[in-house]
Structure 1
Amino acid sequence: MSRIPQTFIDELLARTDIVELVGSRVTLKKQGREYTACCPFHAEKTPSFYVTPQKQFYHCFGCGAHGTAISFLMEYDNMEFVEAVEELARRAGMDVPRESGPGRRDSEDFQRLIAAQEAAAAHFTDNLRHHPEAVDYLKQRGLTGEIARDYRLGFAPNVRDDLLRTLSGEFEEQELLSAGLATRRDSGPPYDRFRGRIMFPIRDSRGRVVGFGGRLLGPGDPKYLNTPETPVFHKGQHLYGLYEARKASPRLEELLVVEGYMDVIALAQFGLRNAVATLGTATTRDHLERLFRVVPHLVFCFDGDRAGREAAWRALEQTLPVMRDGRQVRFLFLPEGEDPDTLVRREGPEGLQARMRQARPLSDVLIDGLRQRHDAGTREGRAALGAQAARLIRDMPEGLLRAQIINELAQLASVSTDQFERGLGPRAPDDTPAPSPPPRPSPATRRQRLEITPVRLALSVLLDQPTLAQDLGDMHWLEHLNTPGVKVLVQVLETLRQNPHLTTAGLLERWRDSETGRHLLKLAQWQPPPSQEEAVPKLLQDALGRLRQQYIQQRTEALLAKASRAALSDDEKAELKTLLIRKPQ
């Protein structure tokens, strides 16, 4: 598969003026060396959103939103990463290059499979016009031509090789098999995978058809059939209707997650174009991360029966590890015998929206579910409840919601909050501890004041002034220092030495979507007090000097420990003598 070269992203960010970009969407006011505004990502009356030209970086002290020009487009315009890069390239008058992994052929094959899906979608759409029985079915379901057009609905006639014959002049047989449009039994001749079905094209974030869902028009099994896993289609990642929802409303705030294609279509018919559906699979972590990149609020819609509640519980288990503060998830359980399609026809869009407003918060569903699964009236039951609760929220991100849930779960298990938290077990260690978020400051006192470790201080200074890395001498000793975060510091220094013109934004993009990247984003919020701006280089030297002393201490202790067990080499003796001279008393 093709990807965008890192060198292009570096150049693109170097050509991009984040002030101009943000200013085209938000009214900015110059304040010192920065620009301020009321945050576009949350409601506020006093500006706490700052854009720093020097770093090509933005940060909100109110809600914590921060990032580069690419991040801003992803958050503000609901774009995927590639879309944001392409938009910045368009603004800069640049063409986005692509490079392949194993070889150029991979990219060409990928594009051919996409082209085959698009050609199939066009054929299915054309078929729908010429098959009255399919049109009648859609009309009976209350769908209009406008909805059929917007969602590119089509029809695959019950003919063994209708699509194969149509596309055979443009695509090879193996391409149609690889695209999941054709199949075969053993070594027999290939035939159309979809026959006698209403066709629902599944589109990616860029609007390209990557697969299909097909519903039988008559009796038979399976009622619904999806494209199999292919190089361009993965059921656990794509969501039906997400592209259409974003296109209908670029500033979405909430999405309704339903179970079927027809539910999405029916809701759209009634003006509710913010529904999406998983593709016949349970909700996955990839689904959730994709959804939360688009909106902060989700409502899951499930049947109210036992099967629906079990499905909701599985969705809850997947959701907890991505429930950061600011995200909201609620669960809507439908009356028995109803689905979103039938309910919206019976109660209208207002009725369904009223039910959505009354949907139950994730935390309530979690706690009630644990109560139902365990007998909290016995010690053994409370212990089992606490053990399952600990497993569920162990990987939940730190924050106010997690703290509130822990407090309530501790009460249910009849233990103290401290005891419950000890039962969670150790969390994965952070390589670079991030600074605590600052309180929301006034413009006069908004500078971050952190008691910062030498590693964090060094990283903060380098993110503020990346060119300082070029003035440092031999830092090889850092690779042998054993202290939290030093590996990241070594990587940052090496990156800046190899790329001397890299901006703060370009540096941050090197670690996008990684734990290290999240720590660096937080450290990039640091700025020196106005009185110390000229002394920033000395701050870096001081931080590295303290780290050098730590290294001397550690190396001295290591050599002394070795000397107590065996004789040192001549080089080691000379090194130890030098270290003892340098070691502070």
Structure 2
Amino acid sequence: MSLSPQFLDELRHRTMLSALIGRSVKLQKAGREYRACCPFHDEKTPSFYVNDDKGFYHCFGCSAHGDAIRFLTEAKGMPFMEAVKELAQAAGMDVPAADPRSAERAERATGLVAASEAAQSWFAEQLQGIAGAEARAYLAKRGVPDDLVKAFGLGFAPDSRGKLKAALASFGNDTLIEAGLLILVDEKEPYDRFRGRLIFPVRDARGRTIAFGGRILDAGEPKYLNSPDTPLFDKGRTLYNLDRAAPASRKAERVIVVEGYMDVIALARAGIDEAVAPLGTALTEAQIERLWRLVPVPVLCFDGDKAGQKAAIRAALRALPMVGPDRSLRFVTLPDGQDPDDLVKAGGKAAFENALQSAIPLVDLIWRHEAGATALDTPETRAGLRRRLAEHAASITDQGTSEQYKLEFRRRFDALFGAAPPRQHSEGPPFRERQPFRRGDFRKPPPRPTSAGARSIGKSGVDRMFARAVIAGLVLHPGTAAAHAEALAGLELGDPVLERIRDALVDAAFTGRSLEGGGAHSILADAGLEAATEELCRTNGLAFSFLRSDADPSRATRDLGEAIDVLVTRPLIEQALTEATRTFGTTTDEASFAEQQRLTREKQDVERRLMDLMQPEGE
């Protein structure tokens, strides 16, 4: 049945939430709200609040949150429509009549659920009978106790083509086929889908049996057989054990994803009930979304073999576009050749808990995967790594998170390979950005007379105008951005517009997009920066060679590289000099004095380089 948002809003408005919850939970008045010990998890100090004005409840302990309908479905286990009908009756509202097609679908679904539940009961009976001896022996060998056999509803399908069909004949072949219990091929007589297998019922969030998985006991393929998709069951949206794991996750404040049925049961045997598993497929986007409804950061636990690692990276890349400030993943890799069952058998719950302590965040998994994908011993392979990382970061929909991933990938890339070195000077070694206290000598160009214009600009004016000139130079000579991308990315320009222009060009260079032949102007226009760029180039007040249309292109790019080097070097030297001066003032020893003097000379050198760049041609 489809209910309009208007009807549901009116139903919520007419329901006094505190009165509804107060029937089963002892509420205490707390200002304009009510508080109580949370009905969703065990606690001694009240952290569960009910707000009638806003119409919702919230627990600050386990994050349970919802309205009147959700309280009935989650706390009381009622189906959605039953909850709506109960609230509507109390509020004096009539539930809109279902259209014939909706009623027909609901009736058919009810029949499929009844058939699946009957099949589960029949499979469970077979497990306890003579035919189930081999399956019982297998479960005993795996250490599955009787209480978990019952809790998970495990069963056995005899090796017969028609025993289930005969047992459930009252439902009719059409219903059993639609429920995935029988197989129909070419209009021949349908036969049982599951034969000679240990049976794992698959339940929905309400605990209703909707599908099955079967493990073969003898040699044969496939090892596991699952129900096909049906009107009840979509394997890409369903998680095994969700009905038991959802309430357990609120108490534990976590949910753990493992690879299969027996992994889930092994963890339950160890007292870890908040585990789920996908159903014969890689974890899907819909399943990940379902996990995020339980906790912000689910933990994915995969075997240490190649198949497990492939499953982990597939899940990571599927989740990546959807991550954000309040939703991500963590990953645990078990020792090669071990699964959760092996770990629990060897060391109990403590062994698995210790493994969880080594969980790594999503960003680490992606970095390790890409950095280890190939040898990184050539410029080409390193460029490939940088491009792949940039593409991953760009795939994230949330812009703030995407930017943080870009920055983090750049930081790791630079830490591994070093930032792109600035242009080598003709005299002396280059400034090494990562060693601010040991730079060596800079180039000392023969001083030229300082222009009146240059002398008239104070320090703050130089900083502001110099930064504007460098960014304007990048717009005119965008190919330079690729050679100095890492150095430019870390600059604090003090002007949001300049930083946006810089970021657009550096991001393009970082991802390998072409900046030549009008590419830069197209990129800036796409970013909404066309007018700002024109204004910057039109109003720049300095006459560097790279800002003049008649300048030699090779000299322009050379001087622009020198200007970027100065722009990066200058604040680092000043910061180092300030620290060295402070240290000398405290210790007054000879070594501190020598360091302070060395940095003073380096500052003078970089200031001379700056003034040299600022000279108009001919002065």
Post-superposition offset of 1:279: 0.4
Supply the distance in 1 between the matched residues of 2:225 and 2:317 (Cα, whole angstroms). 27
Q: What is residue 172 of structure 1 aligned with on the other side?
A: 172
Post-superposition offset of 1:286: 0.6
Q: What is residue 238 of structure 2 aligned with on the other side?
A: 238
Q: Does 1:271 pair with 2:253? A: no
Supply the distance in 1 between the matched residues of 2:12 and 2:163 (Cα, whole angstroms). 48
Q: Alignment RMSD, CA only?
A: 3.9
Q: What is residue 259 of structure 1 aligned with on the other side?
A: 259
Q: How does 1:319-468 map to 2 (within 5 A)?
A: 319-373=319-373, 378-398=378-398, 402-412=402-412, 415=486, 416=489, 418-419=503-504
Post-superposition offset of 1:302: 1.4
* CA separation of 1:61 and 1:226: change in aligned 2, threshold 3 A: closer
With 382-391 and 270-279 compared, the bigger mean Cα shift is at 382-391
Equivalent pairs, count: 416
Q: What is residue 309 of structure 1 aligned with on the other side?
A: 309
Post-superposition offset of 1:62: 13
Q: What is residue 150 of structure 2 aligned with on the other side?
A: 149
Post-superposition offset of 1:381: 3.5
Post-superposition offset of 1:226: 0.3
Post-superposition offset of 1:321: 2.6
Q: How does 1:99-138 map to 2 (within 5 A)?
A: 99=98, 102-130=101-129, 131=131, 132-138=133-139
SS in 2 for 1:198: strand
Supply the distance in 2 between the matched residues of 1:304 and 1:249 (Cα, whole angstroms). 25
C-alpha contact (below 8 Å) 2:184/2:190 kept by paired residues: yes
C-alpha contact (below 8 Å) 1:252/1:295 kept by paired residues: no
Post-superposition offset of 1:97: 7.2
| Residues 375-421 of structure 1, C-alpha deviations (whole Å, 9 max, x = no match) | 66654434433332233233435377554432111234563273565
Q: How does 1:147-226 map to 2 (within 5 A)?
A: 147-168=148-169, 170-226=170-226
| Residues 288-314 of structure 1, C-alpha deviations (whole Å, 9 max, x = no match) | 111111223311111223332222110
Unmatched 5+ stretches in structure 1: 430-585
SS in 2 for 1:108: helix
Q: What is residue 296 of structure 1 aligned with on the other side?
A: 296
Letter paired with 1:292 = W
Supply the distance in 2 between the matched residues of 1:289 and 1:113 (Cα, whole angstroms). 26
Supply the distance in 2 between the matched residues of 1:143 and 1:303 (Cα, whole angstroms). 21
* CA separation of 1:400 and 1:119: change in aligned 2, threshold 3 A: same
C-alpha contact (below 8 Å) 2:256/2:276 kept by paired residues: yes
C-alpha contact (below 8 Å) 2:182/2:191 kept by paired residues: yes
* CA separation of 1:66 and 1:181: change in aligned 2, threshold 3 A: closer
C-alpha contact (below 8 Å) 2:63/2:250 kept by paired residues: no
Letter paired with 1:352 = F
Supply the distance in 1 between the matched residues of 2:55 and 2:199 (Cα, whole angstroms). 46
Post-superposition offset of 1:367: 1.7
C-alpha contact (below 8 Å) 1:5/1:98 kept by paired residues: no
Post-superposition offset of 1:278: 0.5
C-alpha contact (below 8 Å) 1:156/1:198 kept by paired residues: yes
Supply the distance in 1 between the matched residues of 2:197 and 2:64 (Cα, whole angstroms). 45
Supply the distance in 2 between the matched residues of 1:209 and 1:60 (Cα, whole angstroms). 30
Q: What is residue 497 of structure 1 aligned with on the other side?
A: none
Larger RCO, structure (CA 8 Å, separation 6 or more): 1
* CA separation of 1:349 and 1:93: change in aligned 2, threshold 3 A: farther
Supply the distance in 2 between the matched residues of 1:395 and 1:85 (Cα, whole angstroms). 38
SS in 2 for 1:99: coil
Letter paired with 1:283 = L
Post-superposition offset of 1:53: 4.3
Supply the distance in 1 between the matched residues of 2:51 and 2:412 (Cα, whole angstroms). 47
Post-superposition offset of 1:141: 1.3
* CA separation of 1:161 and 1:99: change in aligned 2, threshold 3 A: same
Letter paired with 1:206 = R
SS in 2 for 1:297: coil
Post-superposition offset of 1:28: 7.0
Greater Rg by CA: 2
Q: What is residue 478 of structure 1 aligned with on the other side?
A: none
TM-score (norm 2): 0.59
Supply the distance in 1 between the matched residues of 2:385 and 2:100 (Cα, whole angstroms). 48
C-alpha contact (below 8 Å) 1:78/1:246 kept by paired residues: no
TM-score (norm 1): 0.62
| Residues 447-484 of structure 1, C-alpha deviations (whole Å, 9 max, x = no match) | xxxxxxxxxxxxxxxxxxxxxxxxxxxxxxxxxxxxxx
Unmatched 5+ stretches in structure 2: 415-485, 491-502, 514-522, 527-619
SS in 2 for 1:251: helix
SS in 1 for 2:186: coil
